Amino acid sequence: NAGVTQTPKFRILKIGQSMTLQCTQDMNHNYMYWYRQDPGMGLKLIYYSVGAGITDKGEVPNGYNVSRSTTEDFPLRLELAAPSQTSVYFCASSIIEGPNSPLHFGNGTRLTVT
């Protein structure tokens, strides 16, 4: 079982460049999430989606965009990379939205903006 797959694993961007972080899941989960983890910190929610065609902002959405055209894929777009976006990005999914449903995480993308 692949679960949640993120690509790339590592990326270095220059200030002002753009890129898309890819996320796909094969568990047929409706709910998908993007988090960022800064050094020594927990994870903070950037965007989430409750199904194809529906997305919403999380705690730290500025500087990012998402789309959800299929159940499987939930890409995260950085339009104008800034040093403050240097972080580790995690994509996650869950089968239901509720208090008892754990999130299943991908292995993360380590992004450095210089």
Partner 1 sequence: AQKITQTQPGMFVQEKEAVTLDCTYDTSDPSYGLFWYKQPSSGEMIFLIYQGSYDQQNATEGRYSLNFQKARKSANLVISASQLGDSAMYFCAMRDYEAGSYQLTFGKGTKLSVIP
Interface with partner 1 (CB under 8 A): 33, 40-45, 48, 50, 56, 58, 88, 90, 92, 97-105, 107-108, 110
User: In this structure, which amino acid lies at residue 17?
Assistant: Q
End-to-end Cα distance, the chain: 36
Contact between 43 and 27 (Cβ < 8 Å): no
Q: Tell me the closest approach of the beta carbon of residue 108 to partner 1, in angstroms.
A: 5
Q: Tell me the closest approach of the beta carbon of residue 104 to partner 1, in angstroms.
A: 7
Q: Which residues of 44-57 are buried (b: 16+ CB within 10 A; e: fewer)?
A: ebbbbbeebeebee
Cβ proximity to partner 1, 18 vs 101, nearer residue: 101
Q: Tell me the closest approach of the beta carbon of residue 7 to partner 1, in angstroms.
A: 15
